[in-house]
Structure 1
Amino acid sequence: MFGLENAQSLVGIALAIGICWALSENRRLFPWKLAIGAVLVQAALVLALFGLPALRAGLEGVGHAVDGLSASTQAGVAFVFGFLAGTPDQPYVLTNPGSLFVFAFRVLPVILVVCALAALLWHWRILKWITQGFGVVFEKTMGLRGPPALATAATIFMGQVEGPIFIRSYLPSLSRSELFMLIAVGMSCVSGSTMVAYATILKDVLPNAASHVLTASIISAPAGVLLARILVPRVPGNEVSDPDNPVEDKVYESSVDALIKGTSDGLSIVLNVAATLIVFVALVAMLNGILGMLPSVGGQPVSVERILGVIFAPLAWALGIRWADAPTAGSLLGVKLVLTEFTAFIRMGGIPPGAIDERTRVIMTYALCGFANIASVGINVAGYSVLVPERRAEIMGMVWKAMMAGFLATCLTASVVGVMPSALFGHEPPPPKPAPVLAPTLAPNPTPPAASTPDHAPAKP
């Protein structure tokens, strides 16, 4: 049923679009048709994926596939690292079984395996056909030209810098609006390898986590396109005709070559993720040490997480989250922006069931599922400087705005999900709090109760 909390999420939709319109380079060129169409497409996809039995069964199958992939990966990790991989046969007596979940052994190897499988599926043309299919959909429904539509689709599965590689020869001739859109969409989505990693982190606290993460990355692409078009509107006269160069393609000599090169690419991603997490978590720990010298507030020490929770709590409420969970959800939004979404997902995965509402956890999964964070600014600048060096200065001038567009795009997606009825995702809204029981009071002139009589005795008149 559509309730007050669902209507509350409409505030998030209006807020995300309104902020981008207020900061637009040309507010008179607001894309009304695209705005209405993108939001409706997102809502229709969510309703179809979780409402139609066949598609819902397919999403559940994705969840089982992720579980199988995770288990298979652990077999390889256990072969190399032994009991350090968290196998049940530990050489010591376990006092805390939860400590067996080690990020380096349970999540990062999944990225490695998925990158290898993605390369193999690309070599077999399966992933290529899927990408081209999504590209046609974006081209027909959102008015994108062929090359940017293909890069947008590739970004969903390959990543924020890997997607544009396929149209590298087109990048110098793209309009400012199209180039900005590619950067913004890259920060709105996540790659296929990280989708599986996030699902692995959340599977113990979020039922069917893989379905939500996959859906989040797909439907955030239209949101990224919309907000990018609002911030940097399209000017058709600035779009030149496509060059004669064909779209570039990844070429592997054989299936074994694809697995080897995919593994090599995955290793660079794993090292990048691990190094980024170490540095950013260390910096926040340093800041928390400094803030800890300040007087306590509310009986607790001041920390980066608490400050971010206060700042982003109103935004979390606008997404459709009840106010009791807003500080926690706001802290997760801030952690995602400052410390990367990996850290935010790890924090949310550590929140036990019941500590926050199930609806809050679902909405936050969509709000966190994107690459919009400070670290991605550097990744995009470095990546695009190699892909299109002649436009590096232009990219430097728009990358921060693109990060904001990507961050708000995931918030827009989360708001659309918040509008949906809770029963669609298999859980019911929390029951209303029972009314307080008032102490019994005596009437001014209480009537004495009638004297009790045995069943066989007649009652006195």
Structure 2
Amino acid sequence: MFSFLNLQSLLGLVVIVAVCWAVSENRRAFPWRLALGAIGVQAALILALFAIPGSQGVLAAVTGAVDGLAKATAEGTQFVFGYLAGGDQPYPVQNQGALFTFAFNVLPLILVISALSALLWHWRILKWLTLAFGFLFQKTMGLGGASALAVAANIFLGMIESPIVIRAYLDKLTRSEIFLMMVVGLATVAGSTMVAYASILAPVLPNAAGHVLVASIVSAPAGVLLARIIIPETPGMGGAVADYNSALKYDSAIDAIVKGTADGLMVVLNISAVLIVFVAFVALVNVMLGGFVVGGEALTVERILGFVFAPVAWLIGVEWPQAGVAGWLLGVKLTLTEFVAFINLGQVPAEAMNERTRMLMTYALCGFANIGSVGITVTGLSVLIPERREEVLGLVWKALFAGFLATLMTAAVVGALPAAVFGQ
């Protein structure tokens, strides 16, 4: 049965599309067929992964795989770091919760999944999955072969790794296709971080691994649609055809594992550095805001973000009493990265956020659209297509805007579906 909350999410979906149309470079070229196709693909994928018979078994298998990867990673981490990573403690522990350390309990997962992803790519398993999604996006949304492949690769790889898949075609892409690739990269997450997010949310959200996986998949069509609305493709342009002989190759299984681990290490170092700096900056701003008192409490960045983004959270289907906390999480994602936002989401007390809101926020937060990713995007694409660096610089902030809205659109689509689909 549909409820007012479902209609609320539908309103949010309309508003998100309308906002992108308002800032479009060509408002007369609204892609109606693509809009219907993208929303249809999103809804179909969500229903296929949650509502069809046997889907719960698939999600349970995904959850079991994530748990297995987490346990295996813990073995390797504890071998290197011992009691610091949750191994046998040399002293009595009064607070078991204090043993959780982000650096030792979450970041090592990225190393393992990065190496595993490289190995699966070398064995062509991940490549064929990417090709299947690429074919789906090509047929349902009219993307050119290269663009479709890049969009599909973003579901499993990172926002810089996926352009490598079509590196031979990057210089042939139109401005609209470059923008689309950037938006989808910011709207989705890499497989290596996906498992880390699921591990963070597992204690507080049923089927956390399934929701995170679905979030990254269905945000890709949302990113395509919003990118095409903001910068429509010029008729007769675009559609570079890829022969799917990817530039991303490994010499052997061992080479894939070693290079995958090295790539994962760079991701871990980038995440660690960005988190340290951005959390420190926010703390510094809070110190400067400490002299301002509003409502009997000191003004903080978190409170400001809660005020600013609360209406946005309401639009995607969050009940108003919880919109302040949800809005704060959206602001944290934009400024401090989705990692910090997911950690904070996992720490929100059960009485402060119901299961529906927690589920919607999982979809709304699951994307790389944050200020820190702007630098990563510019740096990565400047290396891959140095001759188009100025073009990338001119598009990156628009891409951040569209990528942020894409995950909100995904949450709105989820919120518009009956709660029974998700077993609520």
TM-score (norm 1): 0.90
State the alpha-carbon separation in 2 of the partners of residues 364 and 210 from structure 1. 14
Match of 1:279 among 273, 277, 282: 277
Q: Deviations over 1:291-332 (max 9, x none)?
A: 1122x2222211001000000000100010000100000000
SS of 1:15 mapped into structure 2: helix
Task: Report the counterpart of residue 81 of structure 2 in structure 1.
Answer: 81
Q: Contact (CA 8 Å) 1:169, 1:247: kept in 2 or not?
A: no
Task: Report the counterpart of residue 237 of structure 1 in structure 2.
Answer: 236
Does residue 9 of the first structure (1) align with residue 6 of the second (2)? no
Task: Report the counterpart of residue 24 of structure 2 in structure 1.
Answer: 24
Task: Report the counterpart of residue 341 of structure 2 in structure 1.
Answer: 344
Does residue 331 of the first structure (1) align with residue 328 of the second (2)? yes
The CA deviation at 1:46 is: 1.1
The CA deviation at 1:238 is: 2.8
- Identify if the C-alpha distance between structure 1 residues 366 and 280 changes in structure 2 by more than 3 Å, giving closer, same or farther: same
Equivalent residues in 2 for 1:69-218, closer than 5 Å:
69-87=69-87, 89-218=88-217
Equivalent residues in 2 for 1:420-439, closer than 5 Å:
420-427=417-424
Q: Deviations over 1:260-319 (max 9, x none)?
A: 11111111111111111000000000001111122x222221100100000000010001
SS of 2:54 mapped into structure 1: helix
Task: Report the counterpart of residue 293 of structure 1 in structure 2.
Answer: 291
Percent identity of equivalent pairs? 60
State the alpha-carbon separation in 1 of the partners of residues 42 and 366 from structure 2. 15
State the alpha-carbon separation in 1 of the partners of residues 145 and 273 from structure 2. 36
The CA deviation at 1:63 is: 0.6
Q: Deviations over 1:12-57 (max 9, x none)?
A: 1011101100000000000011111211221121122111122221
Task: Report the counterpart of residue 247 of structure 2 in structure 1.
Answer: 249
Q: Deviations over 1:224-257 (max 9, x none)?
A: 00000000001132337658x8743322222112
State the alpha-carbon separation in 1 of the partners of residues 290 and 134 from structure 2. 50
Q: Contact (CA 8 Å) 1:148, 1:178: kept in 2 or not?
A: yes
Match of 1:313 among 310, 314, 327: 310
The CA deviation at 1:170 is: 1.0
SS of 2:294 mapped into structure 1: coil
State the alpha-carbon separation in 1 of the partners of residues 344 and 321 from structure 2. 18
State the alpha-carbon separation in 2 of the partners of residues 242 and 85 from structure 1. 48
Matched length: 424
With 346-355 and 148-157 compared, the bigger mean Cα shift is at: 346-355
SS of 2:351 mapped into structure 1: coil
Q: Deviations over 1:133-182 (max 9, x none)?
A: 11111111110011111111111111111101111121111111111000
Q: Which runs of 5+ in 1 are unaligned?
A: 428-461
Task: Report the counterpart of residue 266 of structure 1 in structure 2.
Answer: 264
SS of 2:352 mapped into structure 1: coil
- Identify if the C-alpha distance between structure 1 residues 10 and 162 changes in structure 2 by more than 3 Å, giving closer, same or farther: same
The CA deviation at 1:352 is: 2.5
The CA deviation at 1:207 is: 1.0
Q: Contact (CA 8 Å) 1:120, 1:255: kept in 2 or not?
A: yes
Task: Report the counterpart of residue 322 of structure 1 in structure 2.
Answer: 319
- Identify if the C-alpha distance between structure 1 residues 357 and 76 changes in structure 2 by more than 3 Å, giving closer, same or farther: same
State the alpha-carbon separation in 2 of the partners of residues 313 and 272 from structure 1. 30
Q: Deviations over 1:70-89 (max 9, x none)?
A: 011001111111111123x3
Does residue 359 of the first structure (1) align with residue 349 of the second (2)? no
What letter matches 1:17 in structure 2? V
State the alpha-carbon separation in 1 of the partners of residues 16 and 210 from structure 2. 24
Does residue 403 of the first structure (1) align with residue 404 of the second (2)? no
State the alpha-carbon separation in 2 of the partners of residues 421 and 104 from structure 1. 38
State the alpha-carbon separation in 2 of the partners of residues 246 and 62 from structure 1. 28
The CA deviation at 1:7 is: 0.8
TM-score (norm 2): 0.98
State the alpha-carbon separation in 2 of the partners of residues 297 and 246 from structure 1. 57
Q: Contact (CA 8 Å) 1:151, 1:167: kept in 2 or not?
A: yes
State the alpha-carbon separation in 2 of the partners of residues 24 and 374 from structure 1. 22
Q: Deviations over 1:88-142 (max 9, x none)?
A: x322222221111110011000000000101111111111111111111111111
Q: Deviations over 1:176-206 (max 9, x none)?
A: 1111000000001000001001001111111
Q: Which runs of 5+ in 2 are unaligned?
A: none
State the alpha-carbon separation in 1 of the partners of residues 226 and 37 from structure 2. 13
What is the root-mean-square deviation in Å for CA atoms of aligned residues? 1.3
Task: Report the counterpart of residue 451 of structure 1 in structure 2.
Answer: none
What letter matches 1:312 in structure 2? F
The CA deviation at 1:410 is: 0.3
Match of 1:413 among 393, 410, 413: 410
What letter matches 1:126 in structure 2? I
Q: Contact (CA 8 Å) 2:159, 2:186: kept in 1 or not?
A: yes
State the alpha-carbon separation in 1 of the partners of residues 422 and 51 from structure 2. 9
SS of 1:113 mapped into structure 2: helix
What letter matches 1:23 in structure 2? V
Q: Contact (CA 8 Å) 2:169, 2:240: kept in 1 or not?
A: no
Q: Deviations over 1:326-375 (max 9, x none)?
A: 00000000110111111100111111223211100000000000011111
State the alpha-carbon separation in 2 of the partners of residues 348 and 138 from structure 1. 31
What letter matches 2:365 in structure 1? L
Equivalent residues in 2 for 1:222-233, closer than 5 Å:
222-233=221-232
